[in-house]
Chain A
Amino acid sequence: MLIHLPIAQIAVDPLVIVAIGTMVGFLSGLFGVGGGFLLTPLLIFYGVPPAVAASTQANQVLATSIAGVSAHWKERAVDTRLGTLMLLGGLVGSTIGVAIFGVLKHFGVIDTTISVLYVVLLGVIGGLMAWESVGALGKAGGDPGRRTRMNTWIRGLPYKRRFPRSGLYISIIPLLGVGFVVGLLAAVLGVGGGFILAPAMVYLLGVPTRVMVGTSLFQIIFLTAYVVFLQATFNGTVDLVLGFVLMIGGVVGARLGAAAGRKLKAAQLRLLLALVVLAMAGRLVYDLYVEPKPAFRLEEAS
Chain B
Amino acid sequence: MRLSVLLLAVFLVRPAAAQLSEAPREAPQPMIVAGLAEDQVEVKVNYAGARIVLFATAPADESGSSGLAVALIGPSAPAEVIRRKPTGGEERFEFVTAPAVFAIGAEPQVAGTIPPDVMIEAGLNAAASAMPKADKLDSADLDMWRAAFVDLKMSQGLYSFDTTTIERLDGGLRRAKIKLPANAPPGEYKVRAVAFRNGHTVGMTEKTLTLVRGGLDATLFDLSRQHGFIYGFLAVLLGSIVGGIAAWIGRR
> Looking across the interface, which residue of chain B has its beta carbon closest to that of A8?
B183
Residues of A within 8 A of B225 (CB): 236
Point out the residues of chain A lying under 8 angstroms from B152, CB to CB: 296-298
Chain A contacts of B245 at CB under 8 A?
Answer: 251
Q: Whose C-beta in chain B lies nearest to the C-beta of A258?
A: B250
Establish whether residues A233 and B148, one from each chain, have CB atoms under 8 Å apart when the complex forms: no
Q: Mark B176-203, 1 if CB is under 8 A from A, else 0.
A: 0000001101000000000000000000
B250 in contact with A230 (CB, 8 Å) = no
A23 vs B224: C-alpha distance when bound (angstroms) = 28
Q: Are B235 and A6 in contact (CB under 8 A)?
A: no
A39 to B153, CA, bound (A): 25
Q: Contacts A232-B228, A298-B153 given: A293-B242 contact, CB under 8 Å?
A: no
Contact in complex: A10, B183 (CB < 8 Å): yes
Smallest distance from the beta carbon of B231 to chain A beta carbons, Å? 5
Residue from the list B49, B78, B217 in contact with A6, Cβ < 8 A? B217
A residues apposed to B, CB below 8 Å = 1-4, 6-7, 9-11, 59-60, 62-67, 69-71, 74, 108, 224-225, 228-234, 236, 238, 240-241, 243-244, 247-248, 251-252, 254-255, 293-302
Is B232 in contact with A230, judged by CB distance below 8 angstroms? Answer: yes
Distance of A268 Cα from B233 Cα, bound (Å): 39
Main secondary structure of the interface of A (DSSP, over half): helix
Whether A232 and B246, one on each chain, are in contact in the complex, defined by CB atoms closer than 8 angstroms, is: no
Contact present for B220 and A241 (CB under 8 Å): yes
Give residues of chain B (234-252) contacting chain A, Cβ–Cβ below 8 Å: 234-236, 238-240, 242-248, 250-251
The reply to whether A296 and B250 contact each other, CB–CB distance below 8 Å, is no
The answer to whether B79 and A298 touch across the interface, beta carbons within 8 angstroms, is yes
Q: Does any Cβ of A come within 8 Å of B44's Cβ? A: yes
Specify which chain A residues have a CB less than 8 angstroms from the CB of B138 in the assembled complex. none
Inter-subunit contact B149/A298 (CB<8 Å): yes
Partner of A4, one of B80, B149, B153, B182: B182
Q: Does B94 contact A (CB under 8 A)?
A: yes
Q: Name 8 interchain pairs, CB-CB below 8 A, sorted by A.
A: A11-B47, A11-B49, A66-B239, A294-B84, A295-B84, A297-B84, A301-B78, A301-B95
Given A6-B213, A7-B220, A296-B81: A65 and B234 interface contact (C-beta under 8 Å): no
Smallest Cβ distance from B179 to chain A, in angstroms? 13
Tally chain B residues at the interface, Cβ within 8 Å: 56
A263 to chain B, nearest CB (A): 16
Closest to B80 in A: A301
Contact at A71–B250, with CB atoms within 8 Å? yes
B2: Cβ under 8 A from any A Cβ:
no
* Nearest CB on B from A273, distance (A): 22
Residues from chain B with a CB closer than 8 A to the CB of A302 are 78
**Which of B182, B247, B251 contacts A2, CB < 8 Å?**
B182
Q: 4 closest pairs, A vs B, by CB?
A: A66-B243, A70-B247, A251-B246, A233-B232
Q: A4-B217, A66-B239, A234-B228 are in contact. Are A300 and B78 (CB under 8 A)?
A: yes
Q: Which residues in chain B, 111-157, are within 8 Å of chain A measured between CB atoms?
A: 148-149, 151-153, 156
Inter-chain contacts of A10 with B (CB < 8 A): 182-183
In the complex, the answer to whether B232 meets A232 with C-beta atoms within 8 Å is: yes
Known: A3-B46, A63-B240. A11 touches B182 (CB 8 A): yes
Q: Is B169 an interface residue (CB 8 A)?
A: no
Query: Using a CB-CB cutoff of 8 Å, which residues 54-110 of chain B contact chain A?
Result: 77-84, 89, 94-96
* Chain A nearest CB, measured from B56 CB (Å): 28
- The distance in angstroms between the C-alpha atoms of A3 and B244, with both chains bound, is 25
Q: Which residue of A lies closest to B92 (CB)?
A: A299
B243 adjacent to A65 (CB under 8 Å): yes
- State whether B48 touches A232 (Cβ < 8 A): no
Q: How far is the CA of A238 from the CA of B80 in the complex (A)?
A: 23
Given contacts A233-B229, A300-B78, contact A225 B251 (CB under 8 A): no
